[in-house]
A = this chain, B = another copy of it.
Amino acid sequence: MSMKCSPIPGGTVTSPRGFVAGASYAGIKVKGDDPLDLGILYSEVPCAAAGVFTTNRVKAAPVLLCQERLSKGRAQAVVVNSGCANACTGNRGLADSAMVADLVARKLGMPPEEVLVASTGVIGVPLPIERIRTGIEGIALSQDGGHRLARAIMTTDTFPKEIAVRTEFGGKEITIGGIAKGAGMIYPNMATLLAFLTTDAALETDLARTALRKAVDESFNMIAVDGDTSTNDTVLLLANGLAGNQRLQAGSAEAKVFQETLGEVCSYLAKCIARDGEGATKLLEVKVEGALTLKEARLAARTIASSSLVKAALHGGDPNWGRIIAALGRSGAEIDLSKVDLYLMDLCLFRRGCPMPFDKDEASGTLSGAEVHIGVCLNLGGESAIAWGCDLSEEYVTINSAYVT
């Protein structure tokens, strides 16, 4: 079965049938230009739902609430705020997240246990519940509300990240949409901060869970901005079935198409997050081939993409391949240096363990664009992986040295 999948111009999380969204400014984050900090995503009908969450042992209240509610595999709405993480807020934080869900359930006339909650922002500060109550009242849901929702979840992001893609199986048109936010605290082990994925495809909760896990492993878990993992990282998938397709069965050709399409949506959003890493000026793509195992290919690609020294060298347009080899060497992946090939863009700088002569100005020139590709072939086995990151700039430090104060 060949793949039929095309991006929808201006597509977003409300592009799939039956999804609406809206956002307002509740005064949770500091007011900037055109501010939004609170939003709702809603499906006209209940959805099969799955989530992937932070691996941090310190989990924010909304993460704990989602994990509990998703044990049933169903949801119909998501409420999200930026500006306050509601993390390290104890029992009060849990009660606050449940209260926010209640307010949304009341507004939409639905059971509170089918409302999921997400938060991002400063740790250790309680949610301003009264402002959120007023903010929720002010939210108008609409079919193009996904764009406002994408803006409402931004913190230090410089642009909203959204996409929708259409595909077809069994004569039914299927849409998958998504939005995400990233910027800081982005790392392989649950990398996203927040991503919300929607589809009108009909599928079982189990399939939603396995498909989401696989898509996340190949996308959000393969990006690195800094080494930090948030307390709030949350990826949610809601599938409402309004496309009218026959319910997808695991292992079917249709499920495979769904998996690939979901993977494309997630990879697009993951790359947007890497490109928009705090202070980033370049997208870094690292492809590792010829690894003995998939795990090692991923480990090697992520370690290179997250090396401070590699990232700083790229920022300066410095073809310092020794730092790439050093990162590869400490990644934990099995390597035999005498078999390693290394490419920077199309230039081979290192072949079978030996430095290759190259023109430094030419190499530096290839690093001047908005995307830098590093290719490593270990020549040991057949597994490969791609990781995305960004350069490390002075601006990253400036952003992160004055966040709270």
Contact = CB atoms under 8 A, between A and B. Distances in A.
B228 A330 contact: yes
B227 A316 contact: no
A237 interface: no
Contact of A355 (B89, B184, B328, B399): B89
Given A318-B403, A337-B88, A393-B397, A326 B229 contact: yes
A228 B58 contact: no
Contacts of A312: 396-397, 399-401
A386 interface: no
A295 interface: no
Contacts of A22: none
A105 interface: no
Nearest to A279: B397
A326 B56 contact: yes
Given A227-B306, A330-B228, A355-B124, A320 B58 contact: no
A189 B330 CA distance: 9
A57 B335 contact: yes
Contact of A360 (B89, B319, B405): B405
B400 A397 contact: no
A228 B88 contact: no
Interface in A378-405: 392-394, 396-405
30 contacts: A57-B337, A58-B328, A85-B322, A88-B325, A88-B353, A89-B355, A90-B353, A90-B354, A122-B322, A123-B321, A123-B322, A124-B321, A125-B355, A184-B309, A185-B326, A227-B308, A229-B326, A230-B326, A231-B322, A308-B400, A309-B400, A312-B396, A315-B397, A315-B401, A316-B401, A319-B405, A392-B397, A392-B400, A394-B394, A394-B397
A87 B337 CA distance: 11
A208 interface: no
A25 interface: no
Interface string A194-231: 00000000000000000000000000000000111111
- CB-based closest 5 A-B pairs: A123-B322, A316-B401, A58-B329, A312-B400, A394-B394
Contacts of A396: 308, 312, 397
Interface in A322-354: 322-323, 325-330, 335, 337-338, 350, 353-354
Contacts of A318: 401-405
Residue in A230, A315, A321, A403 with the greatest tally of chain B CB atoms within 10 Å? A403
A313 interface: yes
Given A57-B329, A124-B355, A322-B85, A307 B393 contact: no
Interface residues of A, number: 66
A293 interface: no
Contact of A323 (B123, B306, B322, B394): B123
A87 B322 contact: yes
A326 B233 CA distance: 12
A325 B125 CA distance: 13
B402 A316 contact: yes
B88 A330 contact: no
Contacts of A249: none
A223 to B, nearest CB: 15
Contacts of A59: 329
A317 interface: yes
A360 to B, nearest CB: 6
A251 to B, nearest CB: 35
Residue in A55, A88, A89, A185 with the greatest tally of chain B CB atoms within 10 Å? A88
B124 A313 contact: no
A122 B325 CA distance: 12
